[in-house]
Amino acid sequence: MKRNDFRLNSYFFTTVVTIIGCFFYALGINLFFVPHNFIAGGFTGIAMIAYYLAGFPIGVTNILLNIPILLLSLRYMGRFYTVTTIVGTAALSVIIDATSFLSSWEGVKDPLIAAISGGVLLGVGCGILYRYNSNSGGLDVVGAIVKKYYNLEIGYVVFSLNCLIVAVSGLFFSIETTISTLVAMYINATVSGRIVIGFAQRKAAFIVSDKPYEMADAILRNIRHGATLLYGQGAYTGGDKKILFAIINLTQISRLKWIIRRVDPHAFLFIMNTTDVIGRGFTSPLSRAGTLDTTRYRPGPDGSLVPTEEWQQELSREERGESEPKSRP
């Protein structure tokens, strides 16, 4: 693919994703935030304050507020990021004003339910934008510039500025509205973060055992997940250690513990949470023995994993506690 074609595809994909994310964001604004005088984060929140106090259209005000931000983006963040920002700002502003009629719908009377529902929709919209390296302008650009030149996390910068906006809104609206806005912002941040890092929860298991190869063999054959041997040294004994690292899902923890008790009851195990795991044998179990690129196994008649003769001999040596050969398959 030519470089120009790749760039055009990138722009097209980013534009589509940006419009989808802005659509969810605008729905949350008009369906749940505006009817209860809640404030969104960033420049959209400032535009909403202007709408509540003076009746200025949210979308038009948002575009006007973002003009100096777009100039800063062009100077400090480059052309691609600026084009993405322009698309995001325009899409969000147009969709908010185009769907403003939804704000007359009063289906949710309870402010807390509205804050939760609106926060989820805004979180979905922001999560889609952030996951695919897009944005809707405003404080996202400010946070990106600050991160680039001052090494501060975008989340902290945006959160601090949003707190300032909410504090200002508290001068004009009730304390209940301000608290509900904070609840919505928290849910927004939580949902968007979950979408960015992914919903596929996995567990990273670390096993220190005196039978690392036999343990790896049992995991591969019973859980059918890949595993990796990490080499370390015991701080107390000074002896070499082999640490088995494997990615499993929540339902496989009990089976892993059963394998450890069966193979090496004295093994040390600890498990950590992890997300967004990518790779065959990690995101899903190994389905067919014939697809494995290995010298340790061959496919059996029924498609199961059958150790090669040389590998079976090494497993037998480890089980008997004999020293390892100089070369292993």
pLDDT band at 105 (very low <50, low <70, confident <90, very high): confident
Say if residue 291's pLDDT is above 80: no
**Is residue 93 a contact partner of residue 23, using CB atoms and an 8 Å limit?**
no
Q: What is the pLDDT of residues 118-161, one digit of tens each?
A: 999 999 998 898 888 788 888 878 877 777 777 666 666 677 77
Sign of the torsion formed by the C-alpha atoms of 87, 90, 94 and 96: positive
**Is residue 141 a contact partner of residue 74, using CB atoms and an 8 Å limit?**
no
Q: Who wins on pLDDT, 39 or 11?
A: 39
**Is residue 111 a contact partner of residue 17, using CB atoms and an 8 Å limit?**
no
Q: How many CA atoms lie within 13 A of 189 on its CB side?
A: 14
Sign of the torsion formed by the C-alpha atoms of 139, 145, 147 and 150: negative
The pLDDT value given to residue 286? 53
The pLDDT value given to residue 31? 93
Q: What is the pLDDT of residues 106-116, one digit of tens each?
A: 778 888 999 99
The pLDDT value given to residue 285? 53
Instruction: Measure CA 18 to chain center.
Output: 17
Give, as one character, the DSSP assignment of residue 322.
Answer: P
Q: Which CATH number fits domain 201-320: 2.60.40.10, 3.40.50.300, 3.40.190.10, 3.30.70.120?
A: 3.30.70.120
Q: What residue segments make up the domains of the chain, in order of their start?
A: 3-197, 201-320
Contacts of residue 188, Cβ cutoff 8 Å, sequence gap at least 6:
41, 119, 120, 122, 123, 126
Of all residues in the chain, the percent with pLDDT exceeding 90 is: 21
Q: What is the pLDDT of residues 48-69, one digit of tens each?
A: 999 999 999 999 999 999 998 8
b/e burial code for range 227-259 (CB count within 10 A of at least 16 → b): beeeeeeeeeeeeebbebebbbbeebeeebeeb
